Each structure stands twice: as C-alpha cells, then as structure tokens.
Amino acid sequence: MTNKNPLTKDKILKLLKKDIKLKLGSELIALEKSLNRFLAKDLVSKLYLPPFNNSAVDGYALLKSNLNNNSNILINNKRIVAGDKQNIYLKKNTVSRIFTGAKMPLNSKTVVMQENVKLFNKKLKINKLPRYGENCRLKGEDIKKGQKILEKGEKIKVNNINLIAAIGKKKIIVNKKIKIGYYTSGNELQKPTENLQGSEINNSNFYSLHALLNQAYIKQKFLGNLKDNKKLVISSLLKNTKKFDIIITTGGASVGEEDHLIDAVNQIGKVYFWKTAIKPGRPLAIGKINKTIIICLPGNPVSVHLLYGMLIKPLIEYICSGKLNLPKSTKVKVNFSMKKKNKRLEWLRVMVQKNKDELIVNKFPKQGSGMISSIAYSDGIIEIPEKVSFISKGEYYSFYSYEDIFD
C-alpha cells in the first residue's frame, strides 16, 4: 500500500488519472443503439447542412428584382415541395409556389410568406415585401462539409444524436462497453425479506450497485456475496479478474478482524491507496489484480452512493472516454451552523429551499453513513473543504444535486 495518511479527494483524482489506464477497443454500432455510448474517434461531416438552399416557410420563391416590384407578378405552374429533385430556374417577373424544406430555385434566395400575399388571376401582389435572403436557409449555413461535429470521447446524447443522423451516419464507431463485475460482502447479508432473524440485514447494496451500473456503456454482472473468509475471497477474485475490466466490492474494506478484502488484494495484486480524508467514505480502497482494477467500497449504503457518484462514476467514464468529467455544482447558502473536523472533506446531505433568486439549504437531520433514508429524502450534498472547521449560517458552499451526481 502506498499511502500512510488518508488521501484527499484531489490527490485521489490525480492518482487515478495517472495510474488507471485501460484499453477497451472500439466497435461499429447502429446509431439507434448508440445513446450514452462514447465516441471512439472524431466525427466529421461529409455533407453540408442544409445540403442545399431551401425554404424556411410556405410561400412563394421570388427573384431579387421582384423586391422592387410587388404587384402583378406571374405565378408559374411549378409547385416546389420537399423532396423534389428537379432544378428550377425562375423567369423574370415570375414566382413559384414553394413549401417548407423544399429546394430553392437556382436563381432565388428569397421567399415571401403566403400570409403576406394576395392572389388574383394567377398573379400575385405582395402586401409585405421581404428582405433579400429572408426565409431562405442557405446550403452549409448550419454545418460545413469537413467540419468536426463531435470529438473523440464525447457521449452520444439525446441533444446530439439528431445531428449525427442529419450528416448521414447510420452507424458510428464507439468505445466498447466496459465489463464490470461486482460483489457485496458479509455473512449477515440476506435477500430482501421482512422476516429478518438475529443480526441479519437485507442486502440493499446489491440493488444500489445494479442501479448505479445500469449504464449504456457498462456491461455488468453480479458475482455474488463474498463470505468473511480470506481464502474464499482470494479464490473468487483470482477466478474473476480475467473476465472483467473492473471489479467493485462493497464491505470488507475496514479494519475489523473479519474484513479480509484489503489483505487479499494486497496479497495477490497491488493496492494503490486505502483510506480517504472524506466523510462518509473513509475506507475506500483502489488497487489492481493482474490487469483488472479493483474498487473496494465501504459497506455503508450512503458511502456506496456518494463515493460512486462523486469519484467512481467519473473514473469509469474517464476510462471509457479519456475525459474526466466531475459532477456539476452550484453555490448555495447554508441555513445552519455546525462544527466540523478539519483535515477531511465532508459531504453533508441537505434539503433545498428557494428564496427569491438564490438557493438555501438545510442540513438533513440524519447524517450517519448507515442512514439509508438520508439519500432517499434529501436533495443532494454540499461539499465542505478539508480546511473548514466551523460552518456558519449564511456561508456559501458547493451543492451537488443527486441528478447531477448519479445521472
């Protein structure tokens, strides 16, 4: 193990960027299956968007010369609709009926809206003259041929998938899914039941990890519940490290006599660090066995959620994309005062209230790392830096909503 003192959040992120590297390879997939996958190469348009000059409205395409002559303009018999492939050339003092999205006549760049004309005897009078170029979308106005539209490592999202289709891509090259296996651990864990006996507890962490890992770029598998037996832990880890890029465990990473996980990883692999200067989440450890990254989360449910969202999810996405994107935060005013131990960062669960133009947060009453309800009933967390030893009412801190942490 490399660290004698608990690591800060910044040091953990720096270490992970330096030491954690995996090559996932790439694959060609259908665009409709690409949502939330990461691009394996830059995406460059081979088309202009729009690919031709087209009308932005229903109306009449006219010549520049007609902008000075607004009456008795002859309507020709050529109706231009979206999808027409013919090239049309307007004769002097004539207009063509045109519809939204239709290709403009070769010598026209202006459309008068149908609401602004009056028709009589196949002739047209313009009640409101458009400006030259009005209501015409020009070729390449949106995207130029050869333009990079998305960079390698970017995530395919709802707001950019339309653009990919618009430049003609039916298939795209993305990074392969990262293979993640996960364990829970502890002899006391049981499948959910309302009839617990003795010191049994329901294995809620299985469902948490299953939900947290339910991402388009992850191929996940539950590897079972590790019993409190070092030999069995070592045997199971060695068996599965060849099958997965990352293995995540919950529990068994503390200092109790029945917590064998850290010793097991250290014996058959390498532990990069163990213990953090973060509350909740002190017993976090990350290491490696052969080529597989091992992430040992604490067993407390709150620690599992917050460490995953604030550190592990960004790490996984960094491996998948090459970009380290941390959850977004906003400044909020605290509506409470409290003491805090210095030399450690603290994530306090809070509830948000709006007050005019700013957000104010109240501390959730239950802050223990085993208080499952604190995640369910609060709105997010505020991050209190290591150097702060007292939080005063009215001060501002960084707030992370659960939507930003987990989505």
Distances (CA, A) of 11 to 3, 7, 15, 289: 11, 6, 6, 22
Same domain? For 35 and 18 the reply is: no
Question: How many domains does the structure of the chain reveal?
Answer: 4
Same domain? For 259 and 186 the reply is: yes
C-alpha 79/C-alpha 145 separation (Å) is: 29
Same domain? For 304 and 216 the reply is: yes
Same domain? For 229 and 316 the reply is: yes
Which domain covers residue 120, as residue numbers? 54-137
DSSP string, 37-69: -BBSS-EE-SS-BSSS-EESSSEEEE-GGGGS-
End residue of a domain, out of 289, 321, 353: 321
Whether 98 is in a domain gets the answer yes
Same domain? For 268 and 352 the reply is: no
Same domain? For 169 and 181 the reply is: no
pTM for the full predicted model: 0.89
Same domain? For 310 and 242 the reply is: yes
DSSP string, 203-268: -HHHHHHHHHT--TTEEEEEEEEE-S-HHHHHHHHHHHHTT-SEEEEES--SSSTT--HHHHHHHH
Same domain? For 346 and 380 the reply is: yes
pLDDT tens track of the chain, all 407 residues?
Answer: 557 789 999 999 999 888 888 999 999 999 999 999 999 999 999 999 999 999 999 999 999 988 887 778 889 988 999 999 889 999 998 999 999 999 999 999 999 999 999 998 889 999 999 999 999 999 999 999 999 999 999 999 999 999 999 999 999 999 999 999 999 988 888 888 888 888 888 889 999 999 999 999 999 999 999 888 889 999 999 999 989 999 999 987 665 555 678 889 999 999 999 999 999 999 999 999 999 999 999 999 999 999 999 999 999 999 999 999 999 999 999 999 999 988 899 999 999 998 888 899 999 999 988 899 999 999 999 999 999 999 999 999 999 999 999 98
C-alpha 333/C-alpha 167 separation (Å) is: 45
Looking up residue 237, the CATH number of its domain turns out to be 3.40.980.10
End residue of a domain, out of 321, 346, 366: 321
Same domain? For 64 and 166 the reply is: no
Whether 4 is in a domain gets the answer no
Same domain? For 38 and 160 the reply is: yes
Same domain? For 91 and 184 the reply is: no
Looking up residue 64, the CATH number of its domain turns out to be 2.170.190.11
Whether 3 is in a domain gets the answer no
